C-alpha cells in the first residue's frame, strides 16, 4: 500500500473560511515596523474603502480559503482528492445499504426526518472513522527500520506496534503505531503521533480546534454540553478547560513569536490604537497580598490590560467617521504596564502594544491616533513607544466621568442630571475651562469633584474635540468600551467565575486571536510547524 499523506484538518475544513475580520496576508516577512516610518504607497481614504470592499467580496466567495497570501481551492489538491476518493467509494457502498434500511422501501409520508438525519449522520461518521482507521493501520511506513535517533542523541530501538485510542470529530479511532524505545534515557516515541499532531494528547487536531472554539466562547460546562449536542463528542467540562487553556497557552506563545506585518496592501491613512483596562474576578489564592478596592483594602479582581487597533474611514449618514467593520484587532493580558524609570526593559504590556502595532503596521499610517481613558500608565506607554501619535481621551469615558461625578455633588437628583448634561455639551463645544470653573466650587466638599477637575485639567490637550473633529478624527467610537466587553467581559466576567492567572491569560489569548480573525493563520502554523 502506498504511503498516504494525511491531514485531518485540511480534509475537515475544506470549503470554509471563518472570519473576514482581518485581511491577513503572508507572515513570512517577519520584521518590526517600529519607528515613525511612512509608507511610500500610502492610500487615500476613498482608495482604502474601495480596495477593502473588493477584498471582503473575495473573502466571502465560498469554496476558497486564505493560505498565506494566496487562495487555494482544496478540492484541486491531489492529496485531498486521493483521500476523499477512497472514503467516498466506501461510503457509497456501505451507506447506501444502511440508508435503505433506515428509510425503508415505502413512501416518505410519516417519516421522522430528524431521526433519520441524526441516525444517518452518526452512521456516516462511524463509517468514515472506520475507513480512516483501516487505512492508517494498513500503512506501516512509520516503522522506519530497527532504530531511529532519540532526542537524547542515542539510538532508540523499534519495539513493535502499540494501540492508542484517539478521539476524532468522527468518533473514536483505534490506531496502531510503531513504537521506538530508547534504552539510554528510558524514553520512547511514536513517529506517527508526531506526524499527526497527537503526541501528547488523545484528541485529534480537529477535536482540539472544536474544544478551543467552545472554550473561547462559553463556559467550560456549556462548551462540554455543546460538543456533545452538536458534534456528538463526549468530553467533560474539566477536560474542555484543560485543553482549551493548553491551546490558549500555545496561541499566547505564537503571538509573542509572530510580529510580522499582516495585510500587505491595505493600510488605511489613519490608524487608531486604544488602550484600556478592565477587572476580572480571580480566585482568592491569586489575590493574596494584593491591594484592592474592597472596604478592607483587599482585592477581588485583577486588571486585564487591552490594546485594540482599528480604522475609521467609513462615514455615517452625517459624514462623521465610523469604525470600519471588521477592522478591529485585540491583544490583551493580565500583566504589568509599570516600568520603573531605571529599568532597562519595557513592561510586559508595553512589549505587547509594540507587537500589535508591528503586526498592524501602525507606525506606517499617515496619522497615528491613540485613544484611551486617561489613566497615567496609558500615556506613559504612548509617550514612550508612540511619541508621534495624536493623543485623545475617549469622549465617552469623559462623559461617563461627568455623569458619575454629578450625583456625588448633588445627590441622585434631577439637578445632577441637568448639571452633567450641561457639562457634556460644554465638552463637545470645547469649553473645557467652563467645566473646570463649574467644578471648582465643589472641589473642597467632594473628592470626586476634585478628582474630575484635575482629570479634565491635566488631559485638556487630549480633549480638544472640536479640533479633532475638524481633522476628521474619531473621538469616541465606543470601540474601547465594546472591546473590553466583547473581548473580555462576555466570557471572563460572568457570574460565579473565578480565574487563575494562567487560566485567564490563556482564554484571553484564545479569544483575542479568534476575534482578531487570526485563528486560521495560527492553525496553519500549528499544522505545519516547518513552514511557519
Ligand atoms: Zn534517549
**Residue 155, pLDDT above cutoff 80:** yes
Give the pLDDT confidence of 365-397 residue by residue, as tens digits. 999 999 998 788 899 899 989 999 999 999 989
**Residue 201, pLDDT above cutoff 70:** yes
Question: Ligand 1 centroid vs 512 CA: distance in angstroms?
Answer: 39
Residue 528's alpha-carbon distances to 277, 353, 370, 441, in angstroms, are 35, 27, 36, 66
Question: Ligand 1 centroid vs 191 CA: distance in angstroms?
Answer: 14
Average pLDDT over residues 187-208: 93
Question: Ligand 1 centroid vs 186 CA: distance in angstroms?
Answer: 6
Average pLDDT over residues 476-491: 83
Pairing of strands 270-281, 367-372: parallel
DSSP run (H or E) holding 506: helix 501-515
Cell numbers at 260, concatenated: 510580522
Give the residue among 395, 413, 410, 215 at the shortest CA–CA distance from 321.
Answer: 395
Residues 204 and 103: their CA atoms lie apart, in Å, by: 32
pLDDT for residue 230? 94
Domain presence at residue 161: no
Average pLDDT over residues 400-423: 94
Length of the chain: 532
Q: Which residue has the higher pLDDT, 334 or 476?
A: 334
How much of the chain, in percent, has pLDDT values that exceed 70?
Answer: 77
Cell numbers at 379, concatenated: 500615556
Confidence of residue 4 (pLDDT cuts 50, 70, 90): very low
Backbone angles phi, psi at 357, to 5 degrees: -60, -40
Give the pLDDT confidence of 218-265 residue by residue, as tens digits. 999 999 999 999 999 999 999 999 999 999 999 999 999 999 888 656
pLDDT for residue 84? 59
What is the DSSP secondary-structure string of 115-127? HHHHHHHHHHHHH
Question: Ligand 1 centroid vs 329 CA: distance in angstroms?
Answer: 44
Question: Ligand 1 centroid vs 156 CA: distance in angstroms?
Answer: 6
Print the domain residue range for 345. Answer: 268-500
Domain presence at residue 109: no
Question: Ligand 1 centroid vs 151 CA: distance in angstroms?
Answer: 6
Question: Ligand 1 centroid vs 157 CA: distance in angstroms?
Answer: 10
Residues 140 and 355: their CA atoms lie apart, in Å, by: 44
Question: Ligand 1 centroid vs 268 CA: distance in angstroms?
Answer: 53
**Residue 111, pLDDT above cutoff 50:** yes
**Residue 285, pLDDT above cutoff 90:** no
Alpha helices in 174-295 (DSSP H): 191-196, 205-217, 220-226, 237-257
pLDDT for residue 54? 56
Q: What 3-state DSSP class applies to 49?
A: helix
Confidence of residue 15 (pLDDT cuts 50, 70, 90): very low
Residues 450 and 24: their CA atoms lie apart, in Å, by: 47
Lowest pLDDT segment from 9-23, 117-131, 420-434, 453-467: 9-23
Identify residues whose C-beta is under 5 A from ligand 1, the ion: 150, 152, 154, 182, 184-185, 187
Question: Ligand 1 centroid vs 185 CA: distance in angstroms?
Answer: 4
pLDDT for residue 530? 61
Question: Ligand 1 centroid vs 141 CA: distance in angstroms?
Answer: 22
Residue 417: other Cβ atoms inside 10 A: 14
DSSP annotation of 185: T
Residues 175 and 353: their CA atoms lie apart, in Å, by: 45
Residues 270 and 310: their CA atoms lie apart, in Å, by: 9
Domain presence at residue 431: yes
pLDDT for residue 103? 65
pLDDT for residue 266? 76
Residue 486: other Cβ atoms inside 10 A: 16
Question: Ligand 1 centroid vs 246 CA: distance in angstroms?
Answer: 26
**Residue 288, pLDDT above cutoff 60:** yes
Question: Ligand 1 centroid vs 205 CA: distance in angstroms?
Answer: 27
Confidence of residue 105 (pLDDT cuts 50, 70, 90): low
Residues 349 and 334: their CA atoms lie apart, in Å, by: 9
Question: Ligand 1 centroid vs 3 CA: distance in angstroms?
Answer: 27
**Residue 49, pLDDT above cutoff 70:** no
Question: Ligand 1 centroid vs 189 CA: distance in angstroms?
Answer: 10
Question: Ligand 1 centroid vs 391 CA: distance in angstroms?
Answer: 57
Domain presence at residue 529: no
Confidence of residue 74 (pLDDT cuts 50, 70, 90): very low
* Mean pLDDT rounded to a whole number for the chain: 82
Q: Which residue has the higher pLDDT, 329 or 496?
A: 329
Give the pLDDT confidence of 352-371 residue by residue, as tens digits. 999 999 999 999 999 999 99
Domain presence at residue 288: yes
Q: What 3-state DSSP class applies to 303?
A: strand
Residues 209 and 301: their CA atoms lie apart, in Å, by: 30
End-to-end CA, the chain: 31
pLDDT for residue 62? 33
Domain presence at residue 389: yes
User: What's the structural domain count of the chain?
Assistant: 1
Confidence of residue 531 (pLDDT cuts 50, 70, 90): low
Average pLDDT over residues 298-303: 88
Calculated CA dihedral for residues 529, 20, 373, 395, nearest 10 degrees: 170
Question: Ligand 1 centroid vs 126 CA: distance in angstroms?
Answer: 38
Q: Which residue has the higher pLDDT, 87 or 315?
A: 315
Question: Ligand 1 centroid vs 133 CA: distance in angstroms?
Answer: 30
Question: Ligand 1 centroid vs 197 CA: distance in angstroms?
Answer: 21
Average pLDDT over residues 145-169: 95
Question: Ligand 1 centroid vs 180 CA: distance in angstroms?
Answer: 10
pLDDT for residue 104? 62
The residues pairing with 276 across neighbouring beta strands, listed in sequence order, are: 306
Average pLDDT over residues 63-90: 47
Question: Ligand 1 centroid vs 206 CA: distance in angstroms?
Answer: 31
Average pLDDT over residues 203-211: 95
Lowest pLDDT segment from 187-196, 317-326, 329-338: 317-326
Give the residue among 528, 527, 525 at the shortest CA–CA distance from 258.
Answer: 525
Domain presence at residue 130: no
Domain presence at residue 364: yes
Confidence of residue 87 (pLDDT cuts 50, 70, 90): low
Residues 469 and 330: their CA atoms lie apart, in Å, by: 25
What is the DSSP secondary-structure string of 52-104? HHHHHHHHHSTT-EEETTEEE-GGG-HHHHHHHHHHHHHHHHHHHHHHHHHH-
Confidence of residue 319 (pLDDT cuts 50, 70, 90): confident
* Backbone Cα Rg of the chain: 28
**Residue 168, pLDDT above cutoff 60:** yes
- With helix as H, strand as E and coil as C, how does 369-434 read? EEEECCCHHHHHHHHHHCCCCEEEECHHHHHHHHHHHHHHHHCCCHHHHHHHHHHHHHHHCCCHHH
pLDDT for residue 522? 94
Give the residue among 389, 398, 138, 372 at the shortest CA–CA distance from 277.
Answer: 372
Cell numbers at 451, concatenated: 478628582
Question: Ligand 1 centroid vs 98 CA: distance in angstroms?
Answer: 49
Are the C-beta atoms of 240 and 280 separated by less than 8 Å?
Answer: no
**Residue 88, pLDDT above cutoff 90:** no
Cell numbers at 409, concatenated: 455633588
Give the residue among 209, 235, 237, 280 at the shortest CA–CA distance from 508.
Answer: 280
Residues 521 and 263: their CA atoms lie apart, in Å, by: 12
Question: Ligand 1 centroid vs 163 CA: distance in angstroms?
Answer: 21
Residues 430 and 427: their CA atoms lie apart, in Å, by: 5
Q: What 3-state DSSP class applies to 352?
A: helix
**Residue 216, pLDDT above cutoff 90:** yes
Question: Helix axis angle, 501-515 relative to 205-217, nearest 10°?
Answer: 100
Confidence of residue 299 (pLDDT cuts 50, 70, 90): confident
Question: Ligand 1 centroid vs 155 CA: distance in angstroms?
Answer: 7
Where does residue 232 fall: left (phi above 0), alpha (psi -120 to 50 degrees), or beta otherwise?
Answer: left
Residues 169 and 106: their CA atoms lie apart, in Å, by: 33
Q: Which residue has the higher pLDDT, 201 or 342?
A: 201
pTM over 0.85: no
Question: Ligand 1 centroid vs 181 CA: distance in angstroms?
Answer: 8
Residue 80's alpha-carbon distances to 11, 138, 197, 528, in angstroms, are 6, 19, 18, 16
Amino acid at each position: 500500500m502506498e504511503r498516504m499523506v494525511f491531514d485531518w484538518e485540511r480534509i475537515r475544513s475544506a470549503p470554509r473560511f471563518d472570519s473576514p475580520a482581518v485581511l491577513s496576508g503572508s507572515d513570512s516577512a517577519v520584521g518590526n515596523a517600529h519607528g515613525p516610518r511612512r509608507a511610500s504607497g500610502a492610500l487615500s481614504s476613498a482608495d482604502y474603502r474601495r480596495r477593502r470592499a473588493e477584498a471582503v467580496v473575495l473573502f466571502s466567495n465560498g469554496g476558497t480559503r486564505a493560505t498565506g497570501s494566496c487562495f487555494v481551492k482544496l478540492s484541486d489538491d491531489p492529496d485531498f482528492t486521493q483521500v476523499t476518493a477512497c472514503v467516498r467509494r466506501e461510503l457509497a457502498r456501505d451507506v447506501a445499504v444502511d440508508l435503505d434500511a433506515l428509510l425503508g422501501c415505502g413512501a416518505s409520508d410519516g417519516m421522522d426526518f430528524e431521526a433519520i438525519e441524526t441516525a444517518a449522520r452518526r452512521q456516516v461518521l462511524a463509517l468514515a472513522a472506520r475507513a480512516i482507521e483501516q487505512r492508517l493501520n494498513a500503512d506501516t511506513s512509520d516503522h522506519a527500520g530497527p532504530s531511529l535517533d532519540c532526542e537524547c542523541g542515542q539510538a532508540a530501538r523499534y519495539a513493535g506496534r502499540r494501540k492508542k485510542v484517539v478521539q476524532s470529530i468522527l468518533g473514536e479511532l483505534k490506531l496502531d503505531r510503531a513504537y521506538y524505545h530508547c534504552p539510554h534515557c528510558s524514553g520512547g516515541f511514536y513517529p506517527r503521533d508526531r506526524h499527526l499532531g497527537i503526541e501528547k494528547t488523545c484528541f485529534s487536531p480537529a477535536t482540539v480546534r472544536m474544544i478551543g472554539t467552545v472554550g473561547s466562547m462559553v463556559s467550560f460546562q456549556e462548551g462540554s454540553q455543546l460538543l456533545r449536542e452538536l458534534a456528538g463528542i463526549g468530553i467533560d467540562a474539566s477536560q474542555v478547560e484543560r485543553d482549551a487553556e493548553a491551546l490558549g497557552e500555545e496561541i499566547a506563545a505564537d503571538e509573542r513569536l509572530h510580529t510580522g506585518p499582516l495585510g500587505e496592501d491595505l493600510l488605511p491613512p489613519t490608524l487608531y490604537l486604544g488602550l484600556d483596562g478592565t477587572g476580572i474576578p480571580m480566585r482568592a489564592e491569586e489575590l493574596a497580598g494584593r491591594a484592592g478596592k474592597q472596604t478592607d483594602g483587599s482585592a477581588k479582581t485583577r486588571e486585564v490590560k487591552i490594546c485594540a487597533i482599528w480604522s475609521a474611514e467609513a462615514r455615517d449618514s452625517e459624514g462623521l467617521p465610523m469604525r470600519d467593520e471588521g477592522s478591529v484587532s485585540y491583544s490583551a493580558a493580565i500583566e504589568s504596564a509599570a516600568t520603573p524609570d531605571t529599568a532597562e526593559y519595557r513592561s510586559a504590556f508595553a512589549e505587547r502594544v509594540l507587537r500589535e502595532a508591528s503586526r498592524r503596521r501602525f507606525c506606517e499610517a499617515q496619522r497615528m491616533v491613540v485613544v484611551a481613558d486617561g489613566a497615567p500608565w496609558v500615556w506613559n506607554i504612548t509617550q514612550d513607544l508612540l511619541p508621534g501619535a495624536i493623543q485623545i481621551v475617549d469622549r465617552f469615558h469623559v462623559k461617563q466621568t461627568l455623569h458619575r461625578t454629578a450625583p456625588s455633588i448633588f445627590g441622585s437628583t434631577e439637578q445632577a442630571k441637568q448639571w452633567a448634561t450641561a457639562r457634556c455639551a460644554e465638552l463637545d463645544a470645547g469649553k473645557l475651562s467652563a467645566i473646570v470653573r463649574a467644578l471648582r466650587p465643589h472641589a473642597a466638599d467632594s473628592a470626586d469633584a476634585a478628582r474630575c477637575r484635575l482629570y479634565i485639567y491635566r488631559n485638556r490637550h487630549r480633549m480638544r474635540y472640536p479640533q479633532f473633529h475638524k481633522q476628521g478624527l474619531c473621538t469616541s467610537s465606543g470601540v474601547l468600551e465594546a472591546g473590553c466587553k466583547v473581548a473580555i467581559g462576555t466570557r471572563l466576567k460572568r457570574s460565579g467565575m473565578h480565574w487563575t492567572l494562567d487560566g485567564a491569560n490563556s482564554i484571553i489569548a484564545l479569544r483575542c486571536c479568534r476575534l482578531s480573525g487570526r485563528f486560521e493563520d495560527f492553525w496553519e502554523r500549528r499544522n505545519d510547524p516547518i513552514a511557519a
